[in-house]
């Protein structure tokens, strides 16, 4: 019986054509070999498990092959090819810089450089994880790397290109290996399954590919693990159970609940997820990733950013069309805020549930005034309605007392209510709160008439006002704001001299004479626009401020120049200065 070999080793690429997910790069290398335009040093960089070392070995094998194929590949049959595959060829020297990173290790390499190839054209030195070399080792390597013998080629491989010295980078041709796509990994695992007699499900293989995060070697290691646990039958269910991955069906169900505004269903789904033992932060990140996938699937131009199989991509596209694009932006912000707050939250379950409630209210927000909670400016004191005691089994007249009357005035939705302040009584000021003296707390409800009044009040505040504005009315409001802010001297002077005019039905222009006046307007613009829009009952009114270049601005000259001009105009002043023995400069 043959000894078991893990898939990552058994199916390691032997030719450029068998390299997964690096077609453009391998084509470039093949063309360089075919045209005999070989560099003295190459740098292969990219994430782990994407084929850097495999391509280095294939490159060394191809340039030393005795009978290359017509398409530029190594024959894998000649003695040179077999020796390189066995790892005992004197023409290929490999060094793991992670554990051999001293000056002595590099000097050993430089000594071997002097030995010519045996039975081949080139000697290839492959240095893996080259960024791990010490600074002294790098310096000892520079001269040899820059001017090696004609028969020597260096191939350096690294996962952290930024740690390689610039002097090394400048001496190498750099090839960037990309992360392997999910589709390519699934195809490769499906092929291996067919060769090994393993039944595979593409949905399950996709889960493995996503778990591998672009690394083919990692994917094959996970593939072997799942194949062993499922006794050679890799299904979607067995894969998510073995890898402890949350089924994406949960995420699709959650988004459906958010679309319908069905918050209880969303909370129950979250309960089921927690019951399966999944961490809440893991769930938050998974839901954020799912919504991000929906966002890119919603637009054909960004659909290529969706790293998933075609079947799942179609499902994403189908659900993505059921929600407006702006919903995804708002949902991603809510989840990002929850992720940031998760580390410091005392009650993490409550934080996640609150985020889900907010997601469920994006399309079906709360009714006024409670829809203002997210803006953190809800004036709860303005809920001027009569609170009435709910009859209870132990309620009686002697166990209640009337609380003091509290009065509030309405606050517009544009200005946050000041905390811990009381204002003058409004038209609906009386608020009677009935409390029980007994240990049983009393409930209360809002009277229907008061509730309707409150809702109508807030609906009026949030109404989109767009009345016609005349220049006369604008100038009147303009003057009123200036008179109300006399302490802002620069702004007040600029408003007095700006002579605003109407350039469009809802657009006005004010001309000023100095940049300082523009700055004064910019600082006061939010408050000024709010005042004008409220006074003129037009929420679309805009104001522009610009410098009037036609204005005559007095020239600033030094005192000496000014005095000279005065003397020229008045000779008697010059005589006086001479008598006083004064100087002009």
Tens-place pLDDT, residues 249-278: 899 999 999 998 899 999 999 999 999 888
Mean pLDDT of the chain: 80
pLDDT score, position 436: 36
pLDDT score, position 98: 85
Is residue 112 scored above 60 in pLDDT?
A: yes
Confidence category of residue 379, pLDDT binned at 50, 70, 90: very low
Is residue 386 scored above 60 in pLDDT?
A: no
Is residue 376 scored above 70 in pLDDT?
A: no
Task: Compute the distance between CA of residue 522 and CA of residue 524 in angstroms, rounded to an integer.
Answer: 6
pLDDT (mean) for 223-246: 88
List beta partners, residue 502: 508
Lowest mean pLDDT among 332-336, 426-430, 505-509, 569-573: 426-430
pLDDT score, position 449: 53
Confidence category of residue 396, pLDDT binned at 50, 70, 90: very low
Task: Compute the distance between CA of residue 174 and CA of residue 530 in angstroms, rounded to an integer.
Answer: 58
Confidence category of residue 414, pLDDT binned at 50, 70, 90: very low
Residue appearing with tokens 């979607």: 236
Biggest CA–CA distance in the chain, Å, is: 124
Task: Compute the distance between CA of residue 392 and CA of residue 444 in angstroms, rounded to an integer.
Answer: 11
Confidence category of residue 520, pLDDT binned at 50, 70, 90: confident
Task: Compute the distance between CA of residue 309 and CA of residue 183 in angstroms, rounded to an integer.
Answer: 6
Is residue 365 scored above 60 in pLDDT?
A: yes
Task: Compute the distance between CA of residue 289 and CA of residue 302 in angstroms, rounded to an integer.
Answer: 15
pLDDT score, position 551: 65
Residue appearing with tokens 């803006």: 375
Percent pLDDT > 90 in the chain is: 25
Q: Are 245 and 208 in contact (CB under 8 A)?
A: no
Q: Residue 331 belongs to what H/E stretch?
A: helix 325-342
pLDDT (mean) for 118-135: 89
Is residue 410 scored above 70 in pLDDT?
A: no
pLDDT score, position 141: 87
pLDDT score, position 478: 92
3-state secondary structure of 158: strand
User: Mutual orientation of helices 182-196 and 216-229 as an angle, nearest 10°?
Assistant: 40
pLDDT (mean) for 369-386: 49
CA distances from 551 to 312, 491, 513, 517, 521 (A): 66, 18, 7, 14, 19
pLDDT score, position 389: 40
Lowest mean pLDDT among 103-107, 117-121, 291-295, 363-367: 363-367
CB atoms under 10 Å from CB of 109, counted, come to 19
Rounded to the nearest angstrom, the gap between the alpha carbon of residue 235 and the centroid of all alpha carbons in its chain is 33
3-state secondary structure of 523: helix
pLDDT score, position 460: 59
Task: Compute the distance between CA of residue 140 and CA of residue 142 in angstroms, rounded to an integer.
Answer: 6
Residue appearing with tokens 């100095």: 514
Cis status, amide bond into 403, omega within 30 of 0: no
Is residue 385 scored above 60 in pLDDT?
A: no
Percent pLDDT > 70 in the chain is: 80
Task: Compute the distance between CA of residue 26 and CA of residue 44 in angstroms, rounded to an integer.
Answer: 12
Is residue 535 scored above 80 in pLDDT?
A: yes
Give burial (CB, 10 Å; 0-12/13-18/19+) of 407: middle
Tens-place pLDDT, residues 47-83: 988 999 999 999 999 999 988 888 888 888 888 898 9
pLDDT score, position 437: 35
Query: Of 152-161, 388-397, 414-423, which one has max mean pLDDT?
Result: 152-161
Pick 555 or 560 by higher pLDDT. 560
Closest among 158, 174, 206 to 48, alpha carbons compared: 158
CB atoms under 10 Å from CB of 316, counted, come to 20
Task: Compute the distance between CA of residue 519 and CA of residue 532 in angstroms, rounded to an integer.
Answer: 19
Tens-place pLDDT, residues 13-53: 988 988 998 889 999 999 999 888 899 999 999 998 899 99
List beta partners, residue 174: 43
3-state secondary structure of 238: helix
CA distances from 446 to 30, 378, 406, 515, 576 (A): 80, 18, 16, 54, 89
Confidence category of residue 584, pLDDT binned at 50, 70, 90: low
How many residues does this entry show for the chain? 585
Helices (H) and strands (E) in the chain, counts: 23, 14
Lowest mean pLDDT among 63-67, 69-73, 282-286, 451-455: 451-455
Pick 503 or 382 by higher pLDDT. 503
Helices (H), 197-262: 202-212, 216-229, 236-243, 248-260
Give burial (CB, 10 Å; 0-12/13-18/19+) of 516: exposed
Q: Residue 95 belongs to what H/E stretch?
A: strand 92-96
Residue 409, token pair as written in the block:
């005035």
Pick 561 or 301 by higher pLDDT. 301
Q: Are 294 and 319 in contact (CB under 8 A)?
A: yes
Lowest mean pLDDT among 188-192, 280-284, 485-489: 485-489
Q: Name residues whose C-beta falls within 8 Å of residue 371's C-beta, 6 or more positions apart in sequence.
A: 365
3-state secondary structure of 128: strand
pLDDT score, position 473: 92
Q: Are 41 and 173 in contact (CB under 8 A)?
A: yes
Closest among 47, 57, 66 to 18, alpha carbons compared: 57
pLDDT score, position 361: 87
- What does residue 432 show for φ and ψ, rounded to 5 degrees? -105, 120
Rounded to the nearest angstrom, the gap between the alpha carbon of residue 172 and the centroid of all alpha carbons in its chain is 34
List beta partners, residue 123: 152
pLDDT score, position 306: 81
Helices (H), 395-499: 448-461, 471-484, 489-497
Residue 366, token pair as written in the block:
């709360």
């Amino acid at each position: 019986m043959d000894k078991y070999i893990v898939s990552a080793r058994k199916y390691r690429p032997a030719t450029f054509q068998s390299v997964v997910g690096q077609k453009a790069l391998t084509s470039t290398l093949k063309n360089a070999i075919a045209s005999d335009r070989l560099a003295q040093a190459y740098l292969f960089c990219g994430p782990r498990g994407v084929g850097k070392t495999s391509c280095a070995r294939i490159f060394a094998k191809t340039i030393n092959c005795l009978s290359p194929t017509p398409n530029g590949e190594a024959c894998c049959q000649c003695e040179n090819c077999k020796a390189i595959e066995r790892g005992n060829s004197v023409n290929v020297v490999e060094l793991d810089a992670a554990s051999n990173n001293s000056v002595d290790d590099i000097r050993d390499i430089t000594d071997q450089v002097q030995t010519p190839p045996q039975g081949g054209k080139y000697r290839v030195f492959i240095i893996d994880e080259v960024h791990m070399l010490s600074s002294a080792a790098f310096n000892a390597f520079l001269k040899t790397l820059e001017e090696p013998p004609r028969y020597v080629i260096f191939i350096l491989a690294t996962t952290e290109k930024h740690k390689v010295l610039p002097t090394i980078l400048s001496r190498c041709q750099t090839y960037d290996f990309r992360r392997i796509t999910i589709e390519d990994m699934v195809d490769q695992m499906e092929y291996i399954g067919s060769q090994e007699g393993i039944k595979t499900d593409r949905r399950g293989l996709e889960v493995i590919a996503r778990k591998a995060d672009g690394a083919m070697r990692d994917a094959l290691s996970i593939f072997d693990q799942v194949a062993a646990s499922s006794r050679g039958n890799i299904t979607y269910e067995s894969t998510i159970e073995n890898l402890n991955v949350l089924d994406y069906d949960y995420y699709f169900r959650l988004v459906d609940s958010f679309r319908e505004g069905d918050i209880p269903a969303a909370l129950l789904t979250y309960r089921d997820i927690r019951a399966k033992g999944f961490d809440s932060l893991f769930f938050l990140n998974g839901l954020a990733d799912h919504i991000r996938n929906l966002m890119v699937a919603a637009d054909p131009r960004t659909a290529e950013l969706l790293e998933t199989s075609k079947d799942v991509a179609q499902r994403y596209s189908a659900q993505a069309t059921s929600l407006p694009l702006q919903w995804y932006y708002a949902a991603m912000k809510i989840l990002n805020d929850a992720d940031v707050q998760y580390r410091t939250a005392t009650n993490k379950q409550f934080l996640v549930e609150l985020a889900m409630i907010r997601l469920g209210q994006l399309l079906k927000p709360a009714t006024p005034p409670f829809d203002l909670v997210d803006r953190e400016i809800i004036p709860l004191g303005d809920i001027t309605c009569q609170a009435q005691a709910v009859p209870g089994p132990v309620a009686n007249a002697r166990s209640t007392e009337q609380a003091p009357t509290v009065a509030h005035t309405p606050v517009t939705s544009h200005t946050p209510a000041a905390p811990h302040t009381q204002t003058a009584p409004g038209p609906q000021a009386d608020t009677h709160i009935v409390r029980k003296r007994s240990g049983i707390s009393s409930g209360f409800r809002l009277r229907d008439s008061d509730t309707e009044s409150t809702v109508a009040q807030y609906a009026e505040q949030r109404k989109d006002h767009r009345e016609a504005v005349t220049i006369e009315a604008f100038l009147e409001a303009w003057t009123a704001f200036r008179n109300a802010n006399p302490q802002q001297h620069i702004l007040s002077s600029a408003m007095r001299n700006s002579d605003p005019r109407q350039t469009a039905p809802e657009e006005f222009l004010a001309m000023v004479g100095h940049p300082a006046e523009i700055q004064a307007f910019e600082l006061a613009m939010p408050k000024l626009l709010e005042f004008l829009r409220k006074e003129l009952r037009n929420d679309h009114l805009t104001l522009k401020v610009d410098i009037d270049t036609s204005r005559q601005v007095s020239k600033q000259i030094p005192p000496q120049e000014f005095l000279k001009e005065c003397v020229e105009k008045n000779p008697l002043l010059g005589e006086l200065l001479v008598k006083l023995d004064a100087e002009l400069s």
